[in-house]
Structure 1
Amino acid sequence: MKVKVLQRDVNKYQDRSKGSVQRIYHNPDPNIHPFEKAREYSRALMSVKLRKMFSKPLVSVFEGHSDTVQCLARAHHHLSDIYSGGFDGTIRYWNLAGSRRCEYMIRAHEGAVRGLCVTNNDKHLFSCGDDKKLQMWKISKRESVNEMNLMELEDGGNVEDVFNGYDNISSFSKAIIPETTFLANNQLYSLDHHWNSGVLISSGVGGLHVWDRHRSTPLQEFEWGNETVYSAKINPSEPHIVATVSSDNSVGLFDIRSSTALRKVVLS
């Protein structure tokens, strides 16, 4: 039996110089590669599937709200503290670094909770909802069971609370009531707190309002037409500039130091 070994001359496809680049022979004729696009598509699809399989983007799931979660707020100094507000009218506090479950719950508004924000010192939480109320809550950690006065419990808990990972005995020492309640003329949709002072802004059906926690009426009111302002945020680097998004597909800029709007851009 004879075996013939295929041999190739290296000098035919490789240069003799030391730093030369090896030449690769490729014929781009589409008649030779009839399924090139199909192969590239299948390779790209397989790559995307494998990336999604091994990425594991979902870290944890927090369950507790009985309806849609509408807004979220995070503490500035303790990044593991998260506050959520939902259409069930409750505000829930979550600790990402701890047990990753609801630490305590506040029955805040009659209707949906539309906006949440935390003060710059992480001592107070502001909320607004469909009931036209803007409320200030004092942030406090959950007390231990030994320090509770069980005679002050107003609600005995229910099966749903126990199923969600908490009950009144372990999560509520007394009824949580807001420190201050402000009444707005119209429905509110979003909140944001000033980064350096005690100024608070709210947006809603009546436009943009600037509040002070020590006064029951707004300090300033900004209106640009009759459109509803769905969201308003304060610029961290320039805390006197406020950006808004309205129902007419417009983005507006306001300066809370003055009583006039800066600019409005309507998006197509």
Structure 2
Amino acid sequence: MKIKVIYRSRNEFARTNQAELPKIHRNPKPSLHPFEKPREYTRALAAVKIDSMFAKPFIGALSGHLDGVYSIEKHPKNLSCLLSASADGEVKIWNVLERNTFFSVQAHNSFIRGLTISRPNGTSFLTCADDRTIKHWPLNLESINQEIVPFSTFITQSTLRSQPIQQFSWETSESTISAKFNPVEHNIFATTGSDNSIALYDVKSRTPIRKLILDNRSNSIAWNPMEAFNFTVANEDNNCYTFDMRKMKEALCVHMDHLSAVMDIDYSPTGKEFVSGSYDKTIRIFGYDSGRSKEVYHTRRMQKIFTVRYSMDAKFIFSGSDDANIRIWKARKSEPLIVTSRREVQSMRYRNQLKQRYKNMPEIRRIARHRHLPKILYNLKKMKQEMIQSSRRKLDNIQKHSRSKKIKKIPARQKFIVTEIK
């Protein structure tokens, strides 16, 4: 006689230990799940709300400077090391992990305008100030408690040579505000000048490449570390402009959300986004190809921001303002700082995929884009929108009622460019 029985292997259903979740077998047949899309939409809506509820981007502040912080530089090898320079000539080396100083030195007797660390090892750093001197300092974190003195001090010329190695200039050039070398093509560097210009130079060929004149002055410049031919400038007209050095007749993207002059800018090591600090007392994070900011950070006590930097792991942002404080922020506002389990990581990835899939739904887009702003910034934003709409309406009326009908609209990527000099 043949008897049919229901047989189930214990290994397929039983848990190996109490910490393991019960195994659930699910049939993926679509006909058995008729409301899959509505359920996913509800989960995506909940994920966006949770993201806003748990948003705590501010981590802490590093206090110790007696004057405004105008220069910050990150260490290329040590994630917990940060250098800062203030207007009173003091340079501090910070331990970000413990939020205290490794060492501080009175580097200059005047306003420090620039600070940079040698790459790729970070064994020394240089400072320049209003006293017209450049100082070269050693940086050894193992013996940081010892008194440090500069390797050399020189005034516009090196201590090893009586004349500079190379000198670049344009016929109409004025004072230079900032300069940055290309992180990939080390022989190319870009500068911004007080004559509203952006200039490219080639050290290898010892010649200037090209120069671009804008309507307003650019305060800072940053190269994209992943796309070495692209760079972004922080401009006085409240916008940031991304250019391709191979074709500078127009900008690749116009990043506009700030309400006052943009003072500094820095790219994430991933090259996917950059951070900007503004005179309107806010920090904004932009996608490298996005015209609108993804995040805006502000606090009640934070004053005008003059310098911003990404950490080398792209998880944190450092900002320096004229209230003598350095603030630490999360690059992703709701990302937990504690160690997360495998299940939590899977859950966050699933929620992120849902938000990405339904990001264009009206309710989800409204919640994701909503940001609380101080009353002053809110009124400034409203005024700026009215001015933009008014100028567009005026141009439309001119085109509509002009006799020639040949008035062309200048694209936003070109209207701020005055001329290009090659």
TM-score, normalised to structure 2, is: 0.37
The alpha carbon displacement at 1:172 in A equals 5.6
The alpha carbon displacement at 1:50 in A equals 8.3
**2:131 aligned with 1:131:** yes
Equivalent residue letter for 2:116? C
**2:211 aligned with 1:264:** yes
The alpha carbon displacement at 1:142 in A equals 6.7
> Match of 2:55?
55
Equivalent residue letter for 2:75? A
- Structure 2 residue runs without a partner (length 5+): 1-30, 36-47, 215-415, 417-422
> Match of 2:169?
223
Counting aligned pairs with the same residue, the percent is 35
Judged with a 3 Å threshold, the aligned counterparts in structure 2 of structure 1 residues 122 and 213 are, in CA distance, closer, same or farther, namely: farther
1:212-264 residue CA offsets vs partner (Å, 9 max, x unmatched): 67446421111222412111100011000001111122211000123321001
**How far apart in 1 are the matches of 2:160 and 2:49?**
55
> Match of 2:112?
113
Equivalent residue letter for 1:234? F
CA contact (8 A) 1:114 1:129 kept: yes
The alpha carbon displacement at 1:102 in A equals 1.5
Judged with a 3 Å threshold, the aligned counterparts in structure 2 of structure 1 residues 264 and 111 are, in CA distance, closer, same or farther, namely: same
> Match of 1:247?
194
Partner of 2:62, secondary structure, is coil
**2:235 aligned with 1:236:** no
**How far apart in 1 are the matches of 2:76 and 2:176?**
25
**How far apart in 2 are the matches of 1:253 and 1:177?**
34
CA contact (8 A) 1:136 1:178 kept: yes
Judged with a 3 Å threshold, the aligned counterparts in structure 2 of structure 1 residues 260 and 173 are, in CA distance, closer, same or farther, namely: closer
Judged with a 3 Å threshold, the aligned counterparts in structure 2 of structure 1 residues 49 and 89 are, in CA distance, closer, same or farther, namely: farther
> Match of 2:331?
none
Judged with a 3 Å threshold, the aligned counterparts in structure 2 of structure 1 residues 218 and 135 are, in CA distance, closer, same or farther, namely: same
Judged with a 3 Å threshold, the aligned counterparts in structure 2 of structure 1 residues 88 and 213 are, in CA distance, closer, same or farther, namely: same
Relative contact order, CA 8 A, sep 6+: which one is greater?
A: 2
CA contact (8 A) 2:102 2:145 kept: no
The alpha carbon displacement at 1:51 in A equals 5.9
**How far apart in 1 are the matches of 2:111 and 2:181?**
23
The alpha carbon displacement at 1:59 in A equals 1.4
Q: Which moved more, 1:252-261 or 1:229-238?
A: 252-261
Judged with a 3 Å threshold, the aligned counterparts in structure 2 of structure 1 residues 245 and 52 are, in CA distance, closer, same or farther, namely: farther
The alpha carbon displacement at 1:173 in A equals 4.4
The alpha carbon displacement at 1:55 in A equals 1.2
Aligned residues: 175
Judged with a 3 Å threshold, the aligned counterparts in structure 2 of structure 1 residues 69 and 53 are, in CA distance, closer, same or farther, namely: farther
1:107-142 residue CA offsets vs partner (Å, 9 max, x unmatched): 001111111111122111111111111101111337
Equivalent residue letter for 1:223? S
> Match of 1:15?
none
CA contact (8 A) 2:125 2:136 kept: yes
> Match of 1:159?
none
**How far apart in 2 are the matches of 1:216 and 1:49?**
63
Judged with a 3 Å threshold, the aligned counterparts in structure 2 of structure 1 residues 49 and 109 are, in CA distance, closer, same or farther, namely: farther
The alpha carbon displacement at 1:61 in A equals 0.4
Partner of 1:61, secondary structure, is strand
1:190-229 pair list within 5 angstroms = 214-215=160-161, 217-224=163-170, 225-229=172-176
**How far apart in 1 are the matches of 2:64 and 2:49?**
32
Judged with a 3 Å threshold, the aligned counterparts in structure 2 of structure 1 residues 74 and 212 are, in CA distance, closer, same or farther, namely: farther
Equivalent residue letter for 1:260? T
The alpha carbon displacement at 1:64 in A equals 0.9
Partner of 1:221, secondary structure, is coil
Partner of 1:62, secondary structure, is strand
> Match of 2:102?
103
CA contact (8 A) 2:124 2:138 kept: yes
Q: Which moved more, 1:224-233 or 1:50-59?
A: 50-59
- Structure 1 residue runs without a partner (length 5+): 1-17, 23-47, 144-170, 185-210
CA contact (8 A) 1:230 1:244 kept: yes
Find the structure with the greater CA-based Rg.
1
1:127-159 residue CA offsets vs partner (Å, 9 max, x unmatched): 11111111011113375xxxxxxxxxxxxxxxx
**How far apart in 1 are the matches of 2:50 and 2:194?**
41
Partner of 2:167, secondary structure, is strand
> Match of 1:178?
150
The alpha carbon displacement at 1:179 in A equals 1.2
> Match of 2:70?
70
CA contact (8 A) 1:103 1:142 kept: no
Judged with a 3 Å threshold, the aligned counterparts in structure 2 of structure 1 residues 237 and 123 are, in CA distance, closer, same or farther, namely: same
> Match of 1:88?
88
